[in-house]
Amino acid sequence: MYLIDTNVWLELLLKQDKYIDVQQLFEKIEASYLAISEFSIYSIGIILTKLKKDDVFKDFISDTIEDSGVVVARLSVSDLKEIISIRQKYKLDFDDAYQYVAAQKYNYILISYDKDFDYTEKGRITPDKI
């Protein structure tokens, strides 16, 4: 199973520089083997609505969360406390530490463009490496 970081989803949704790599990733891996953190959903919602792309967010929720079989990874209250430990240990910001804890909790491989994960025990892979 793979946890897809927020920045990877946004590459595709906003058709940024590497969106073709992300598109190919989603063609290679069945949706039921992919996960998104609950935090990523909220972050994507904040970013897309700020950009006045409400319809893109609505379609993302329908297509990705409701219909495709992508798993939503949620953290418990005790997991939230672990975010602080991970943040301090690896010098991550809150959102990266959240992704890391979610990947660790569910034993997911983290797919991200964020190089900060390269300095962690779990590391990360980029979509083009799948």
CB 36 within 8 A of CB 72: yes
Domain ranges across the chain: 2-129
What's this model's pTM, rounded to 2 decimal places? 0.94
Place of tokens 């927020």: 6
Q: In which element (H, E) is residue 37 found?
A: strand 34-37
CATH class assigned to 2-129: alpha beta
pLDDT tens for the 130 residues of the chain, in order: 999 999 999 999 999 999 999 999 999 999 999 999 999 999 999 999 999 999 999 999 999 989 999 999 999 999 999 999 999 999 999 999 999 999 999 999 999 999 999 999 999 999 999 8
Closest CA to 14 of 42, 50, 62: 50
